[in-house]
Structure 1
Amino acid sequence: MVNLPGGSAREQVTKLLVDWGQGNKEALDLLTPIVYRELHNLAERYLRLERNAATLQPTALVHEAYLKLVAQDAPDWQSRSHFFGVAAHLMRQILVDNARKHRSEKRGGGMANVPLDEALSMSPERSAGVIALDDALNQLAIVDERKAKVIELRFFGGMTVDETANALGISVATVGREQRLAEAWLHREMSRTTA
């Protein structure tokens, strides 16, 4: 961790994010190794939690998300939680896009030669599960956007309950309650689509 004067590691990351957003490219250079490690840990955690873990590598997921994050000219990062919330959303979208692509290719559409490791990146079960989860989360967001955001931040973003509460401006107790209700709703919704 880069030692900036004063503040915790989290506060230092927030300061670097704000400085980067204000055009300080040196802040991005200092920030890159810090957030890259955290993004990689987040991707590893998410992929480890998948029941039907395939050969999708955390590094590939992180690289794609990171490139999208740093491609922004003057991002308006409000905090570390905001940055990782956006990263979580990007990772979710990348996984869903990858699953949809794999599902399409499985049906023979647009057959092309691809490297073996890419062809093996998703199992059919995982593709279907990721797509079903994304569909259910999208439906939940229509019914209750905050509950969907809690799930996205907690599971795709790897945020703690405290970080999620801070990012959403709600209490820790509310995060716990929203998470339990959202999980039950998602379980019921996904059970219906697989039945």
Structure 2
Amino acid sequence: MRAIARREHYRAGQPQTLQTTALINEAYVKLRKADGWDSRSHFLACAATAMRHILIDAARARLASKRNAPTYSFTQSLDSLAAAVPEDEQVVRLGEALEELKRLDANLAQVVDCRFFAGMDEKETALILGVSDRTIRRWWVQARAWIHHEMAAA
């Protein structure tokens, strides 16, 4: 989980966002109520999704505070968050694009969470989703193309 958190920490807003340990703690708070993990891979995929949501919420909060708008509440104080950086807008746009993708095709969104955010390979992702490696490869190409199109259009 620490490796996932460290990767997401640097991927979403550079070091100005939540520290790795704080990100793990936030993910734990989100995941502690859930039961019935099918496997280690399933847990890590859910943790990656939780971390993505935390980082996107933190980016939104920084952007809102930059505009003197009301802030969002987190288990960690907003005082520990740095001022908004230009990457925050991209992080928020990516989050919005993934939510739209989830509405259109939940499988494609799950592939993005597993491959991009959890760093899983095709075989691990295929096990989680219960499909073949080849299907994962095809979905991954579709998801990346769709996200690229949405990010370029925004």
Give your verdict on TM over 0.5: yes
Is the contact between residue 126 and residue 136 of structure 2 (CA under 8 Å) also seen in structure 1?
Answer: yes
Q: Does 1:141 align with 2:84?
A: no
Matched length: 148
1:48 alignment partner in structure 2: 10
Is the contact between residue 37 and residue 43 of structure 2 (CA under 8 Å) also seen in structure 1?
Answer: yes
Residue type of the partner of 1:98? A
Equivalent position to 2:55, from 88, 95, 101? 95
Q: Mind listing any 5+ residue stretches in structure 2 that lack a counterpart?
A: 72-76
Residue type of the partner of 1:134? G
Distance 1:46 1:99 in 2: 13
Distance 1:58 1:43 in 2: 6
Relative CO higher for 1 or 2, CA cutoff 8 Å, sep ≥ 6? 2
Distance 1:110 1:145 in 2: 31
Is the contact between residue 63 and residue 88 of structure 2 (CA under 8 Å) also seen in structure 1?
Answer: yes
Using the size of structure 2 for normalisation, the TM-score is 0.86
Q: CA deviation at 1:158?
A: 2.1
1:59 alignment partner in structure 2: 21
Distance 1:99 1:152 in 2: 18
Runs (4 or more) in structure 1 with deviation over 3 Å come to none
Task: Write out aligned runs for 1:157-168 (5 A).
Answer: 157-168=118-129
Name which one, 1 or 2, has greater alpha-carbon Rg.
1
Task: Write out aligned runs for 1:118-133 (5 A).
Answer: 118-120=80-82, 123-133=84-94
Using the size of structure 1 for normalisation, the TM-score is 0.69
Is the contact between residue 54 and residue 123 of structure 1 (CA under 8 Å) also seen in structure 2?
Answer: no
Q: Percent identity?
A: 38
Q: CA deviation at 1:187?
A: 0.5
Q: Does 1:69 align with 2:31?
A: yes
RMSD between aligned alpha carbons? 2.0
Q: Does 1:107 align with 2:55?
A: no
SS of 1:124's equivalent in the other structure is coil
